[in-house]
Amino acid sequence: MQKITPCLWFDTQAEEAVNLYISIFKDGKMLTETRYDKASAEVSGQPEGSILTCEFELFGQKFMALNGGPLFKFSEAVSLVVDCEDQAEVDRYWNALVADGGQESQCGWLKDKFGFSWQIVPKLLTKLLTDSDPKKAQAAMKAMLEMKKIDCAALQAAYDQA
C-alpha cells in the first residue's frame, strides 16, 4: 500500500490533465473521482458538480489531481522524472508532453501545457554521468548541458571522444 500520494493542484484542468497523462503513459488509469457538492462549491467558488479530485495511477504510482482554483501555480521546484529505456522512449514522452502548448527547457526538462514540470531522462545519461572515468563523465555532462531534449547518440559520442 502506497503511504504517500503526490497531489497536483490545477485551476480547473485536473480531469483534462489526468486524461492526457493516462493516454501518454502505458498502464495509466483513472482510479476515482470526487465532485464539488453544494457546500464545497460555495467555499471554493468552483461549480457544483464539477471535478474536485481525480486519483490516478502511472506505472503503479498513485497521484491525485485537484481542481483547487487559480490560487497556486506549478513551479520547477517540483517535477516528475521519467526514466526512459532508450531514445525512442525519450522522444515519445517528450513529444507528447510538449504538444499543444508545452515548453521545452534545458537538460531534459520540459513543462507540459498545464505548466507542470517533467524530466525525461534516458538510463544512458545516468550511466555516463556516474562513470568511474571523470573525464568521460565530464564530457557527457558538458554535452547534456547544451541540450534541451536529451540526445542519446550525442551523449554517447561526447563520452566516447573523451
**Is residue 143 domain-resident?**
yes
Predicted pLDDT of residue 135:
98
DSSP 144: H
Task: Name every residue whose Cβ is closer than 8 Å to that of residue 102 and which is 6 or more positions away in sequence.
Answer: 110, 111, 112, 113
Domain ranges, residue 24? 7-67
Task: Please check whether residues 111 and 54 belong to one and the same domain.
Answer: no
Count of domains observed in the chain: 2
- Residue-wise pLDDT for 109-160, tens only, equals 999 999 999 999 999 999 999 999 999 999 999 999 999 999 999 999 999 9
DSSP secondary structure of 62-119: EEEEEE--TT----TTSEEEEEESSHHHHHHHHHHHHTTT-EE-STTEEE-TTS-EEE
Distance CA 41, CA 96 (A): 33
**Residue 30, H or E segment:** strand 29-35
Q: Beta 61-67 vs 7-10: how paired, if at all?
A: parallel
Question: Which of 43, 67, 91 finishes a domain?
Answer: 67
DSSP secondary structure of 118-133: EEEEEHHHHHHHT-S-
Contact (CB, 8 A) for 74 and 113: no
Q: What is the CATH number of the domain that holds 32?
A: 3.30.720.100
- Residue-wise pLDDT for 1-36, tens only, equals 889 999 999 999 999 999 999 999 989 999 999 999
Q: Beta 79-84 vs 117-122: how paired, if at all?
A: parallel
Distance CA 70, CA 11 (A): 5
**Is residue 157 domain-resident?**
yes
**Is residue 74 domain-resident?**
no
Q: Per 3-state DSSP, what percentage of the chain is helix, strand, and coil (rounded to 5)?
A: 35, 25, 35
- Residue-wise pLDDT for 93-105, tens only, equals 999 999 999 999 9
Per DSSP, what are the bridge partners of residue 63? 56
Predicted pLDDT of residue 1:
80
pTM, entire model: 0.94
